[in-house]
Amino acid sequence: MQTIDDFNFQNKKALIRVDFNVPQDENLNVTDDTRIQAAKPTIEKILNDGGAVILMTHLGRPKNGFEDQYSLKHIVSKVSEILGVNVTMADDVVGDDAREKAENLKSGEVLLLENVRFHPEEEKGDRDFAKKLADLGDIYVNDAFGTAHRAHASTAIIAEFFPNAKCFGYLMKQELEAIDKVLKTGDGPVTAILGGAKVSSKITIIDNILPAIDNLIIGGGMTYTFIKAQGGDIGNSLVENDKLELALEILKACDDNDVNIYLPFDNVVADNFSNDAQTKITSVYEIPDGWMGMDVGPETNKLFSDVIKDSKTILWNGPLGVFEMDNFAKGTISLGEAIAKATEIGAFSLVGGGDSVAFVKQYGYDDKVSYVSTGGGAMLESLEGKELPGVAAILS
């Protein structure tokens, strides 16, 4: 794996694909700068070498060329603040302003190009557009794991024009190593926790990770598809009736691969989908009509915590309950606590996927786990065993 540590950037212009697709409020102020912070070590290494940096990123999903709300002018001051460097911005991506500013860029300086998605050629993976981008720099660095599953011009196609001068940044390296630890190199026992609403969205992940794991913990709404498939009464709980056979196949696949599968056996049920609903604790197999499962119960929390306590490598994707409602967050909090304790005594823990990442940030567990992935879709596709175009382009 070729990384920026394999290059000296002195007097070189590094063209870095970053992922600064950050959330903003109604006034377009950045509300979470995690992704900018994550790229900082890569940018600093290049500047410390005596190089110059040209940053490429997208922001949002513009549909018709330039749209002011998606302009990077709204985030450039935040980028400058985090990097501690006055970041210059180009008015365009591959036009006269970008070319002139890139040409005149000196060592120690940082240039931010305008939103690459203002050009439809970006998402089409257009070679001519990629070549124009490539002409701006000397070395291509991909540090945008969040977009590595897209074969776009700036994330994959551009690498063709740097046959001997392309590499991963530190963030990409960390992300790939974290996934590798779960799937290949981590110490056992390896435990995967998969939550969320649907079995159908997790089936390819389950298929791919079964040979690598020892324990599979299932939680969230998809629990009830497994329970109904085994003949349980699930009341009004979320269920995929067309996936009952699939749930039974997963149980058999776990058995065939000597993987211990853990499903909740008690749960918190509610009489409607509301934080103020009436609640009670029941067996997951005996939910009364008119009631729905909203969180795992106390006995299940204890079981899951015991499994995690004995694990050396942990993957967590998806909450165990409707954690957005305080009354149904206890199971996911208990899980976060168990993973934090296991990490503290030496386990490696990887958290990824939108809801899990949102949870660990909201409840302050992000610095109590080993690694929080910045790339939801890219991480999930990696776990599914798919080749990511942005990764393959550097490795080829």
Q: Where do the structural domains in the chain lie, given as residue ranges? A: 4-168, 175-383
Amino acid 197: pLDDT:
83
- The annotation status of 208 as a binding-site residue, yes or no, is no
Rounded to whole angstroms, how far apart are CA atoms 72 and 8?
A: 29
- Residue 19 corresponds to which amino acid? D
Rounded to whole angstroms, how far apart are CA atoms 189 and 94?
A: 50
pTM: 0.88
Structure tokens given for 376: 């939801």
Place of tokens 């079981």: 303
Amino acid 310: pLDDT:
96
Rounded to whole angstroms, how far apart are CA atoms 182 and 315?
A: 7
Per-residue pLDDT reduced to its tens digit, 121-173: 999 999 999 999 999 999 999 999 989 999 999 999 999 999 999 999 999 99
Rounded to whole angstroms, how far apart are CA atoms 388 and 378?
A: 7
Contact predicate 112/79, CB 8 Å: yes
Amino acid 254: pLDDT:
96
Nearest to 139 by CA among 10, 11, 13: 13
Rounded to whole angstroms, how far apart are CA atoms 374 and 185?
A: 21
- Residue 272 corresponds to which amino acid? N
Contact predicate 36/22, CB 8 Å: yes
CATH of 175-383, one of 3.40.50.620, 3.40.50.1260, 3.30.1540.10, 3.40.50.150: 3.40.50.1260
Q: Is 67 exposed, middle or buried (0-12, 13-18, 19+ CB in 10 A)?
A: middle
- The annotation status of 146 as a binding-site residue, yes or no, is no
Rounded to whole angstroms, how far apart are CA atoms 339 and 347?
A: 8
Amino acid 154: pLDDT:
97
Amino acid 34: pLDDT:
87
- The annotation status of 60 as a binding-site residue, yes or no, is yes
Amino acid 153: pLDDT:
97
Per-residue pLDDT reduced to its tens digit, 321-378: 999 999 999 999 999 999 999 999 999 999 987 688 888 888 889 899 999 987 777 8
At residue 384, the 3 state secondary structure works out as coil
- The annotation status of 59 as a binding-site residue, yes or no, is yes
Rounded to whole angstroms, how far apart are CA atoms 194 and 177?
A: 20
Rounded to whole angstroms, how far apart are CA atoms 145 and 132?
A: 22
Which positions are annotated as active-site residues? 35, 198, 354, 377
- Are 4-168 and 175-383 the same fold in CATH? yes
Amino acid 354: pLDDT:
64
Amino acid 135: pLDDT:
97
Rounded to whole angstroms, how far apart are CA atoms 58 and 71?
A: 9
- The annotation status of 353 as a binding-site residue, yes or no, is yes
Contact predicate 308/335, CB 8 Å: yes
Place of tokens 């109604």: 26
Strand partners, 54: 15, 111
- The annotation status of 349 as a binding-site residue, yes or no, is no
Contact predicate 259/278, CB 8 Å: no
Half-sphere exposure in the Cβ direction for 55 (13 Å, CA): 32
- The annotation status of 202 as a binding-site residue, yes or no, is yes
- Residue 171 corresponds to which amino acid? L
Which residues of the chain are modeled with pLDDT < 70? 354
Which CATH homologous superfamily contains domain 4-168? Phosphoglycerate kinase, N-terminal domain (3.40.50.1260)
